[in-house]
Structure formats: structure tokens, C-alpha cells
Amino acid sequence: MKTGIAPRLLWSTVAWLVALIFFFPVLWMWLEALKTEPQAASSPPTILFTPTLQEFQEVLSFDFPPFFVNSAFASIASTLLVLVLGLPAAYALAIKPVKKARDVLFFFISTRFLPFAASLVPLYLLARDLQLLDNIFALVIIYTTINLPLGVWLLRSFLLEIPTDLFEAARVDGAGFLSELRRVVVPLIAPGIAATSLICLIFSWNEFFYAVNFTSSVAATSPIFLVSFISGRGLFYAKLSAAATLATLPVLMAGWFAQKQLIRGLTMGAVK
Amino acid sequence: MPAASVSRREAWLRRLPLLPALVYVVLVTQIPFLMTIYYSFFSWNLLRPGSFRFTGLDNYAALLADESVRTAVLNTVVLTVCAVAISVVLGLGIAVLLNQEVFGRGILRTLIIGPFLVMPTAAALIWKDTLLNPLFGLFAYLLTPFGLGRTDLVNQFPMATIVAIEVWRWTPFMMLIVLAGLQSQNLEVLEAARVDGAGALQSFRRITLPFIRPFVELGALLGSIFIVQTFDSIFMMTQGGPGEATTNIPFLLYLVAFQGFSIGQACAIGVVAVILTMIVASLALRTLFSIFQVERR
């Protein structure tokens, strides 16, 4: 269908307006981060200014890096665990399905929908008794739990797309389960692994509830830094914005560069 | 290979790859949930050692009688229903808009998904301090000509503020799902309808809308499951207040468990939350399974 130039211009204008409204808070965060403290809190707001990286330096030289490292460790370690546990499980649900594969799948995905209220208190007591409070491995375990059902579901949907013949061929060649996994499955579902990892990374990087209740200082992640930041030092908009910009950057970048995987992951594989 | 000929050994070989994940999930979700149910029959406060005592259904009776529990349930329903409804409608509208031949569609989509990707904690801080602060925020300045400058929006309209921020965050999510649905639509059908003399509005209502309906439903249900759990923005912006105006079930649970350390009470809230969530979740699962037609292989 061809659209005339006039309606096209009209729709484009509306679309750009909407997009800018939605994006504005993010843009404003970036602008504030590049200002000096007095400029960031001025009224009327400072629109024209010489950008400075001073506040970024300040945040980085202060105590942000350990929080950032904790976030990275918890996200990456839990994502790897999801892949290690999820890939074989997805295989058993898609390629050589076990009996009642549908029920097992239903069970997995239903645990993603359990509210954290379901298991919060016992997990907290357990972490306390095992000396795992304020230990980054407690967050790794919890983030793996949050992401595993989604991981199994997504990986399964990717595995289903592999033509069965390929497995037959590998089996005729006498390949065992492990070499079948390595030679056939992994290369073919590399995009699926990417999509799954992306979703897991986003959810665990941005997670706050467990982080705030299960960690305090040693194992605290970037959102906790932001919280301690406001309670610790009053209103410093430029510094606050610089810290927020740094904390949000990895997921923003990952999501933007892998939009296709993001969409597939968010729709739980419904959209190819 | 017919199922009957699969030997017992073969069946176990098939189950083997599944077991680690299954055991993990059972250990970390199911067993704690059973413990949640168990503890919910006890009166137990961590701040009072030795207070562990069986009290039967007392915790549940206390929940029913507690005014703040009712407020929290109501707040949760209001927040979820408003945020989901508004973000579905906006997301649908924007998806239809981006599905037109607009200039720079890729950049537009990139900009719009920004709010969904930004860490909720960071977003809440930026909203609260640099945008909505009554003295130094940008909105105070922009609203001054309308006589609304210096209005403390967060304090005066706490629930509306939280809803607005959740809508800002979840509209891109809904948009992505609906847009993906729109783009998988067969254009030839629309073209045929146009040749048959159907107007744009008519073919949208008769053909496009029924086609994307499952995607809208999926977005709404997944959105509900996530928004019911809203905690970050409430913690950062209002701390459940003023009073109990924005205390939802997750925030109440946080207060009872981690401020009051009433384990029994918190567990009773947990059990009720699970029952309420399962109603929505079972609908979500049915939609999900119908989109996928799960027994494909």
C-alpha cells in the first residue's frame, strides 16, 4: 500500500512527537549528568551549557565501581547458570520430548508468575542461617530462579525450529548426546541463546526488591548505590543523574543493539 | 517412533537433561512456598526470640480484620488496572502509528523502548528529583504559567504519579508486542479488503484488530503479572505514603517482613498473594499456550 506524502508527513510528525515525549526523561537524565551542580538545579532550567564530565569522574572516583561490579557479577553468573540448566531442560522438552512435556513446561512457566511473596520469607531465613545475607551468591541463586522458567521456555521455542532431520543425521554419524549438543544444537540456536541471555541480563541487572532486602554493603548492586546515594547526600542532581546514567547504560545499550532478540524474548518467543 | 516402544531406560535417558533444572526450581520455589504456608500458621516475630508459637488461622483472621490489608489490596487493584489499561491503549495506538510508513521508524522504536530498558530505580529517582521536585524540578517550572508551579505533584496525587510512571515504563512493552503482531500480519488480506472497497477504519476493525487481539491479550496479561508486583517506584517515590495512599501488597509485605519482622503475618500475606496472582496467571498461561499451540511436535 502506498501512502501519499501529506499523510505520511502528518503521521511522522505525530510519531516523532510521541517518541520524544516518552524518551524525554532519559534525555533529561543525560543532560543533567553533563551539567555542573548549580546548572542542574537551576530554575529556570539551564538549556544551553558547556557539557562537562566532571560529575561522572566524581561518581566513578567515589564508591560506585564495586556496586557496578556486583551487578555485573550477579547478572552474568545467573545468566550462565540459566543457560547451563536451561539448555538441557529445553532439549528434553523439545527435541526428544519426555512424557507429559506440556505439563512440565506449564509447571516451569507458572513458577515465573509466582509473586515474590510466595517464597520471600523462607528464602530470607535460609540465607540468614547459611550466612548468605549480603553475599552476592544469594543474589545469583535468586536471579537464576527468576530467569530459569523464562529461559527454558525461550530456548525450547528456538529448539523447536531446528529441523528434526539434522538430529537424525548427527545420530546416524554416531554422535552422543554431548557431541550432538555441541555440534548441532548450540550453533543453530546461537541467536536463541543471545535472546535468552539478553532477557536474563535485563531482568537481573534492573532487579531491586531482592537486592535491597538481601544485601547491605558488601554485595550491594547498582540500584542500591542509587538509593544510598540519595539518602546519603541530599539533592545533588548532576551527580545523581551521572550515577543513574552509568547504572542504566549497560541494559540500555544491550537492549538497543539487540532489539530483534529483545522483542522475541519479551513476547516469549511468540514473534519470530 | 511410537511412545509405547520407548523402553524404561530410554525414558530415563530422556528425562536426565531435564532433571537439574527441575530439581533447582523445585528446591528454590516450591519448597520455600510450602514453608511459607507452614509459617503462616504460626505467630513468630524475629525481634522477639522464642516467640515461635502455633496459632492456627489467627494470621488469616488478622489479615481479614486489618484495615491496612484491605487498603493495600484496593491500591494494588487500582494501580494494576489503571496502569495496564492505559498502557495497553497507548501501546496499541503507538504501535499502529509506527506501523504506518513514517520517517525513521527504526529510530522511533529505539527511542520509545528507552523507558522500558532504564533501571526502574534510576528512572524513579530522575522523575522524583529532577522532574517532579516542587522547587527545582523541570515540571514545576513548566507548569508555573498554568498556576501549578510549586505544586508537589507526588504528594498531592501520589497514586496518579505512580500510575503515570508505570504507564511510562510499560507502554513501550505493550507497543513492542502489538507492533510485532502487526508486522506479522499478511498484507495481502488487507490489500484484498481495500480492493473490495473496505475503508481504512473498517478493515482495521474487522481484520487487523481480530488478528492482533491475542497479542494485545498477551501484553495485558504479562503486564498485569509484572505490575501487580510493583515495588521499585513506590519504594523510591512515596514509601507507600502519604499515609497508606500508595501501599500495595508487595510494599505491605516489605513493611511487615523487613520492618516489622513478623514472619507469620508476612507468610499469610504471601499465601493470599499467591492465590490472587494464580487467577491472573492461569489466564495468562492459557493465552500463551493458545498463541503457541504448544503441541507442535
C-alpha cell at B242: 502519604
Long-range contacts formed by A225-228: CB under 8 A, 24+ apart: A225/A63, A225/A64, A225/A67, A225/A68, A226/B119, A226/B121, A226/B122, A226/B125, A227/B121, A227/B236
Domain spanning A63-227: CATH 2.40.240.10: no
Please report, for residues A89, A185, A188, B17, B251, the alpha-carbon distance to residue A175 in angstroms, rounded to integers and kept in the order given.
Answer: 19, 12, 16, 16, 53
Q: Determine whether the interchain pair A92/B16 forms a contact, defined as Cβ–Cβ distance below 8 Å.
A: yes
Instruction: Give the per-residue pLDDT at A187.
Output: 81
β partners of residue B43: B53
B11 to chain A: which residues are within 8 Å by CB?
A: 98-99
Look at residue B296 and tell me whether its pLDDT is greater than 70. Answer: no
- Residue A247 and residue B122 in contact, taking contact as beta carbons nearer than 8 Å: yes
CA distance B257 to B282: 27
Q: What is the pLDDT of residue A272?
A: 63
pLDDT higher than 70, residue B124: yes
Mean pLDDT of A123-139: 88
Q: Is the ipTM of this complex over 0.90?
A: no
Task: Give the pLDDT score at B1.
Answer: 47
pLDDT at residue A231, rounded to an integer: 62
DSSP type of residue A99: T
- Tell me, what's the pLDDT at A72? 94
- What does the DSSP 8-state code read for residue A118? G
Q: Find the mean pLDDT for residues A101-125.
A: 83
**B129–A240 CB contact, under 8 Å:** yes
Q: How many whole angstroms separate alpha carbon B247 and alpha carbon B259?
A: 14
Average pLDDT over residues A47-58: 81
Contact A211, A3 (CB under 8 A): no
- Phi/psi class of residue A131: alpha, beta or left (left: φ > 0; alpha: ψ in -120 to 50)? left
Q: What is the pLDDT of residues B176-204, one digit of tens each?
A: 989 988 888 878 888 888 888 778 788 88
- Quote the pLDDT of residue A184: 74
Mean pLDDT of B84-89: 94
Contact B258, A213 (CB under 8 A): yes
Cβ atoms of B123 and A226 within 8 Å: the answer is no
pLDDT value of residue B122: 92
Residue B294: pLDDT above 60? no
Average pLDDT score over residue span B268-289:
80
Q: Of B29, B33, B177, which is closest to A267 when you measure between CB atoms?
A: B177
Among A143-147, B47-51, B244-248, which is the least confidently predicted range? B47-51
Predicted confidence at residue B293, as pLDDT, reads 57
From chain A, pick out residues whose CB is under 8 angstroms from the CB of B254: 209, 213
Q: Minimal CA–CA distance to A109: which of B82, B252, B225?
A: B225
Hey, what's the cell of B137? 524540578
Residues B58-76 have pLDDT tens digits of 888 888 888 888 899 899 9
Average pLDDT of every residue of chain B? 84
pLDDT for position B149: 65
Compute the distance between CA of residue B122 and CA of residue B111 in angstroms, rounded to an integer: 17
Residues of B in contact with A14 (CB under 8 A): 97
Q: What pLDDT band is residue B91 in, cutting at 50, 70 and 90?
A: very high
pLDDT of residue A252: 92
| pLDDT attached to residue B292 | 63
> Contact at 8 Å (CB) between A88 and B21?
yes
Grid cell, residue A235, equals: 539533592
Nearest to B138 among A8, A28, A263 (CB): A28
In this prediction, residue A230 has a pLDDT band, given cuts at 50, 70 and 90, of low
Hey, is the C-beta of A119 within 8 angstroms of any chain B C-beta? yes
Record: contact B108-A19, CB cut-off 8 A? yes
Interval B202-242: pLDDT, tens: 888 888 888 888 888 888 888 888 898 899 999 988 888 78
More confident residue, A118 or B120: B120
Q: What is the pLDDT of residue A71?
A: 93
Helix (H), strand (E) counts: chain A: 15, 0
Min Cα–Cα distance to chain B from A263, Å: 7
Residues of B in contact with A92 (CB under 8 A): 14-18
pLDDT at B295: 42
Question: pLDDT tens digits for A174-183?
Answer: 667 677 777 7
pLDDT at B297 over 60: no
| Cα dist from A48 to A39, A45, A82, B142, B193, whole Å | 10, 9, 47, 17, 52
User: B262 - beta bridge partners?
Assistant: B45
Put simply, the answer to whether B292 touches A269 (Cβ < 8 Å) is yes
Answer yes or no: is pLDDT of B291 > 70: no
Selection from A198-207, A219-228, A229-238, B257-266 with the highest mean pLDDT:
A198-207
Residue of B nearest to A206 (CA): B119
- Residue B52 above 90 pLDDT? no
For A14, which residue in chain B has the nearest alpha carbon?
B97
Question: Could you tell me if A223 lies within 8 Å of chain B, comparing CB atoms?
Answer: yes
Give the DSSP H/E element, type plus range, for residue A64. Answer: helix A64-94
CA distance B216 to B219: 5
A268 phi/psi in degrees, rounded to 5: 55, 40
Q: Can you state the angle between helices B263-292 and A101-112, rounded to 10 degrees?
A: 130
pTM over 0.80: yes
Give the residue, A113 or B95, on which the prediction is more confident.
B95
Whether residue A91 lies within 8 A of chain B, CB to CB, comes out as yes
Which of A71-85, A245-259, B11-25, B46-60 has the lowest average pLDDT?
A: B46-60
For the segment A198-216, the average pLDDT, to the nearest whole number, is: 90
CB distance B255 to B247 below 8 Å: yes
Domain locations in chain A as residue ranges? 63-227
C-alpha count within 13 angstroms, C-beta hemisphere, residue B175: 29
Burial state string for A21-55 with b = 16 or more CB within 10 A and e = fewer than 16: ebbbbbebbebbbbbbeebbbeeebeeeeeeeeeb
* Residue B21 cell numbers, joined: 533444572
User: DSSP of chain B, one letter per residue?
Assistant: --GGG--HHHHHHHHGGGHHHHHHHIIIIIHHHHHHHHHTTEE-BTTSTT--EE-TTHHHHHHHH-HHHHHHHHHHHHHHHHHHHHHHHHHHHHHHHHHS--TTHHHHHHHHTHHHHS-HHHHHHIIIIIIS-TTT-HHHHHHGGGT-TT--HHHHSHHHHHHHHHHHHHHHHHHHHHHHHHHTS-HHHHHHHHHTT--HHHHIIIIIHHHHHHHHHHHHHHHHHHHTT--HHHHHHTTT-STTTT--HHHHHHIIIIIS-BHHHHHHHHHHHHHHHHHHHHHHHHHHHHHHTSTT-
Q: Which residue in B12, B80, B100, B119 has the most chain A C-beta atoms within 10 A of its own C-beta, making it the best mutation to test that interface? A: B119
Residue B128 to chain A, least CA–CA distance (Å): 11
Residue A111, all three cell numbers:
513458577
Contacts of B135 in chain A (CB under 8 A): 43
Residue A131 grid cell: 550466612
Cell 529510530, residue?
Answer: B107
Cα-Cα-Cα-Cα dihedral sign, residues B258, B259, B264, B268: negative
> Is the per-residue pLDDT at A1 higher than 60?
no
